[in-house]
Structure 1
Amino acid sequence: MASCGDTSTGAPALRELAALLQLASPALPIGAFSYSQALEAAIDAGLVSDAESARRWIASGLDLLAGGDAVLLLRQCRAWHSHDMAAVSQCNDTLLAWRESSELRLETEQMGGSLARLAQDLQWGGPELRARLAELKPIALPTAYAYAATALGIDEVHALTAWLYSWLENQTAAALKAIPLGQVAGQRILYGLREAVSQAVQRTRDCADEDISTFAPMLGVLSSRHETQYSRLFRS
């Protein structure tokens, strides 16, 4: 068993870990902090009002992602790796079509475009692959994330896990601001949903075509309401 003093981990694995930490960091300049994905509207409607209701809301969101966006993200990691641009483009079009409101559509386009530009600026991936990336406009966030993970040599399951955890972290941060919650309550949510992230990863990996679903009418209604909400902290 490895310990804190173990030095046997190879350099390639450490490079992958460092790349993964950068890609999953809240400091990544793609604007994730400015979106709540209808959580703010749920708070305004009284559906989320404390730490426990926030935990339930976030857990349900993880489950929704595991059977929808995350499935296509995983497939796009494989498609980018094999240079299958037809599959990448088809998944990207599907992800954009899945957005149920103008705010959710603008969110994935803005964050996806920002990540794609960052990948170009930092020259992640070879020239040919970057040229293919530049052709995808508009680009959904999972498409750009799958590209970045592939270009940085990150294992697809590690990339998927980090993406889901980043979503969890962003939702928790939104709850801290909008409910509001204390920092310790936020950490309890993150700690308590670690197993849910693991389960979401497994569900995504096992998801068959006929099981893919993004059916969440309440999310669509709340997101639409958020567009005209009187007071807002977030863009979605």
Structure 2
Amino acid sequence: MLIAELTALLHLASPALPIGTFSYSQGLEAAVEAQWIRDGDTAREWIESGLLHVLARGELAFIGHQFARWQHDDASALAQADRQFLASREAAELRRETEQMGWSLKQLAFSLEWGDAARRATLETLTPLSQPTAFAFAAAVHELPVDAALAAYAFAWAENQVAAAIKAVPLGQLAGQRILMAVRPVIERACARALDTPPERINTFSPMLGVLSARHETQYSRLFRS
């Protein structure tokens, strides 16, 4: 991999990317409230399950196909797929989260003039916009390898989950690093599974995540927006 590609991947996966990732726990805080997550082991199990059974067959697979559509600037297919993804969000806060982060990444792309004018024009037409579609745009216009882009997205997701667990369980920093070490091979498996998933097999069915997210909307005390 070229240094330019690596630095672009690190940029996209960075927690310093100003899209508001730190504001969300994607159901983890509600799982802590329900005592499904109690310590480092249960936090690791939650994150591994999310990677293999939610992201791999949902968001990661979706990003892979949107990446290819961005390469060809297929505006109609991009818009239709993004509408379907947004409709698949199982709770109001999950939908708000992806729309807010998608909007923020879109504004960043315009401000930094990522990509060519034609694809930025297509990006402008996508309103509302999901985060995965915006991420696929960023990866495609930086001409990154799709497998590496999926790994960056998955690692950024896992890192944010660890950060949320450190605050919400709470866990120590060392426990968090142990989880990140443990999920490295899981990320590889999740990306491989995603790349083998055709569009018609993309599946966001995760009912307990939807239930926990819906509960979180009215949770009495919380640190995160979702």
**Interval containing the TM-score (normalised by the shorter chain):** over 0.9
Would you say 1:226 and 2:220 are equivalent positions?
Answer: no
Would you say 1:36 and 2:22 are equivalent positions?
Answer: no
TM-score scaled by length of structure 1: 0.93
Alignment match of 1:215 (pick from 202, 205, 208): 205
- Counterpart of 2:85, as a letter, is L
Structure 1: how far apart are the matches of 2:94 and 2:204?
13
Deviation of the 1:217 alpha carbon? 1.0
Q: Deviations over 1:55-94 (max 9, x none)?
A: 1111111011101111110001110001111221122111
Structure 2: how far apart are the matches of 1:73 and 1:211?
13
Deviation of the 1:208 alpha carbon? 3.2
The corresponding residue for 2:47 is 58
- Structure 1 range deviating more: 119-128 or 205-214: 205-214
- Structure 1 residues 35 and 48: alpha-carbon distance in aligned structure 2, compared to 1, 3 A threshold: same
Q: Which has the larger radius of gyration?
A: 1
Structure 1: how far apart are the matches of 2:3 and 2:121?
28
Q: Deviations over 1:178-227 (max 9, x none)?
A: 00000000000000010000000110111134542221111111100001
- Counterpart of 1:43, as a letter, is V
Q: Percent identity?
A: 53
The corresponding residue for 1:19 is 8
- Structure 1 residues 210 and 91: alpha-carbon distance in aligned structure 2, compared to 1, 3 A threshold: closer
Structure 2: how far apart are the matches of 1:209 and 1:118?
28
Q: Which runs of 5+ in 2 are unaligned?
A: none
Alignment match of 2:192 (pick from 192, 197, 202): 202
Does the Cα contact within 8 Å between 2:62 and 2:199 map onto a contact in 1?
no
Q: Deviations over 1:90-116 (max 9, x none)?
A: 221111011111100000000000000
Q: Deviations over 1:93-146 (max 9, x none)?
A: 111011111100000000000000000000001111111101100000000000
- Counterpart of 1:152, as a letter, is H
Structure 1: how far apart are the matches of 2:215 and 2:24?
15
* CA RMSD, Structure 1 to Structure 2 (Å): 1.0
SS in 2 for 1:193: helix
- Counterpart of 1:164, as a letter, is A
- Counterpart of 2:62, as a letter, is L
Structure 2: how far apart are the matches of 1:165 and 1:197?
7
Deviation of the 1:230 alpha carbon? 0.4
The corresponding residue for 2:122 is 132
Q: Which runs of 5+ in 1 are unaligned?
A: 1-8
Structure 1: how far apart are the matches of 2:170 and 2:119?
43
SS in 1 for 2:11: helix
SS in 1 for 2:106: helix
